[in-house]
Amino acid sequence: MKPSQKGNLMIKLKNMNKGIFTAFVGDGCNDICALQQSDIGLALSNQEASLAAPFLTPIIRVSQICEILKVGRGSLITSQSCFKFMTLYSSIQTIALTICYISNTKLTVEQFLYQDLWILIPVAFTMSLTKPSETLTVEQPFVSLLSRSIIFSVIGQFLICCCCQLISLSTYDQSQITPLNMDLVNPINTQQIILGNTQVIAVAIAYSQGKPFRQPIYRNYFLLFFLFIGMVVHVLLIIKPNIVNISILSELTSEQLMMTTLMNVPVFLAIILFENLCIKQYKNQGIGK
């Protein structure tokens, strides 16, 4: 075939199959037209750069197109997961802050710093380090942030977090908060920061699941390390708030500690199980369809 005929073939294939992407692998010489007209053009060349195709590999094997698909799908899912995590994190913190204002108190600077610097930033930076899957599956990921799966997942997780934080508010006596201690650590903002941190960790785990487009979460060693450290410190501060000299959490009575445990464990499991349910539901229906 002539170079122009190859390019026309790519155009006709795209016009015939709406919604189906085309790919072309060539050497970048007489395949320039086809490489540029296809959705995914891979040039097999030893040159450092090529204007013929958006993708270039020095490994002269047609199977390299599968590597592009695996990395591309993994990157897309990682971007969507980071978007959902940051959306829910800001929502969780907004709900906690609103509840504190309603209760005539607020989160302290130390509590904000603890949540942001110790939990959020390490997790947010390491979530994207999950590598793509080693196998190529027939499923297709969602290409839009406004797809049903993403919207349903974010709204569902938001409702779970919101309901749990509102329920936790009813377990404390708001008369304990006075204008003298509203800016200090107290039982209400302590309860909200504990529950908020639990929700952030659970959301990070839920949105770091790998299959079918990424490797499992236990293969992301940096994320696993920071999640483990965050959970250990989180539990230690709940049990013994005075373990550090910085006033982050108030001392909880045995009854309050029991109530905190009863609230945090179910919400932790509910967030992870709900995301598993969303993945299973849309996997059965055909991901990305």
Q: Where are the domains of the chain?
A: 3-9+18-62, 71-285
244-279: b (≥16 Cβ within 10 Å) or e:
eeeebbbebeeebeebbeebbeebbebbbebbeebb
Is 227 in contact with 123 (CB distance < 8 Å)? yes
Single out the residue of 158, 131, 136 nearest to residue 216, CA to CA. Answer: 131
Reported as a single tens digit per residue, the pLDDT across 224-276 is 999 999 999 888 888 887 776 667 777 777 777 788 788 888 899 999 999 88
Is 208 in contact with 81 (CB distance < 8 Å)? yes
Tell me how crowded residue 184 is: count the other CB atoms within 10 A of its CB. Answer: 13
Amino acid type, 142: F
Report the percent of the chain where pLDDT is more than 90. Answer: 25
Q: Is the pLDDT of residue 123 over 60?
A: yes
Reported as a single tens digit per residue, the pLDDT across 3-44 is 788 888 888 888 886 667 888 888 767 788 888 888 888 888
CA distance 283 to 281: 5
CA torsion through residues 84, 120, 172, 252, sign: positive
Single out the residue of 144, 162, 29, 12 nearest to residue 79, CA to CA. Answer: 144
CA distance 228 to 13: 50
Lowest-confidence segment of 46-50, 100-104, 135-139, 178-182 by average pLDDT: 178-182
- One of 1.10.10.10, 3.40.50.970, 2.170.190.11, 1.20.1110.10 is the CATH number of 71-285, namely 1.20.1110.10
Helix H segments across the chain?
3-16, 32-37, 64-102, 109-113, 121-126, 148-169, 187-206, 221-239, 254-285
The predicted structure's pLDDT at residue 21: 81
The predicted structure's pLDDT at residue 50: 63
Amino acid type, 181: N
CA distance 87 to 15: 37
Tell me how crowded residue 236 is: count the other CB atoms within 10 A of its CB. Answer: 12
**Token pair for 219:** 């293969």
CA atoms within 13 A on the CB side of 3: 11
Name the pTM for this structure: 0.84
The predicted structure's pLDDT at residue 49: 56
Residue found under tokens 């802050």: 97
CA distance 61 to 44: 7
Largest CA distance in the chain: 84
With residue 177 as reference, give the H or E element that holds it: none
Cis peptide before 266 (omega within 30 of 0): no
CA distance 223 to 206: 13
